[in-house]
């Protein structure tokens, strides 16, 4: 009986440990966010390298001339026919403190330019700052949590 109880206790602890690690809380920015204009949704996720990325998963107006919208402003002519849905816009962000994420890049498909970026997490919104050189020279866009 004692041996059976010991096995049960060990199995219970193993199950509890596995269950707790499976439910470990994801980072608070690992969600789907509306861009400031609410014309697109971007899914932010953490890659295996520990950095954060964001890809476009929805467009309010996904079609142009009856076909899926493409990355027509991309400076690389080979990528101009890539669909916007599925396009990775945010790359290489690293957590910096409790609410900050820094060291990343953001691609703007409207003009085909890539900017340095950092994010501040504010609960149901993200302040995303795109800039060239130093962050004082740039623009902040507020993304909100998608429904």
- Reported as a single tens digit per residue, the pLDDT across 78-109 is 999 999 999 999 999 999 999 999 999 999 99
What pLDDT was estimated at residue 119?
A: 98
Domains of the chain: 26-145 (2.40.128.520)
Kindly report, residue by residue over 107-146, the tens digit of the pLDDT: 999 999 999 999 999 999 999 999 998 888 899 999 999 9
For every residue of 73-128, DSSP letters joined together read: T-SSGGGTTSBSTT-EEEEEEEEETTTEEEEEEEEETTTTEEEEEEEEE-SSEEEE
What pLDDT was estimated at residue 39?
A: 97
What pLDDT was estimated at residue 136?
A: 85
Kindly report, residue by residue over 1-51, the tens digit of the pLDDT: 545 444 443 434 344 444 444 446 799 999 999 999 999 999 999 999 999
């Amino acid at each position: 009986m004692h041996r059976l109880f010991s096995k049960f206790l060990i199995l219970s602890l193993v199950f509890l440990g596995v269950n707790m690690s499976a439910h470990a809380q994801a980072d608070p920015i690992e969600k789907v966010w509306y861009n400031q204009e609410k014309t697109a949704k971007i899914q932010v996720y953490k890659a295996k390298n520990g950095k954060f990325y964001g890809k476009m998963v929805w467009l309010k107006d996904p079609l142009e001339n009856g076909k899926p919208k493409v990355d027509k402003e991309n400076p690389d002519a080979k990528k101009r026919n890539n669909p916007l849905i599925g396009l990775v816009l945010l790359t290489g962000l690293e957590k910096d403190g409790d609410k900050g994420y820094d060291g990343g890049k953001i691609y703007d498909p409207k003009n085909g330019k890539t900017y340095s970026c950092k994010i501040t997490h504010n609960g149901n919104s993200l302040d995303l700052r795109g800039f060239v050189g130093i962050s004082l020279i740039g623009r902040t866009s507020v993304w909100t949590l998608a429904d």
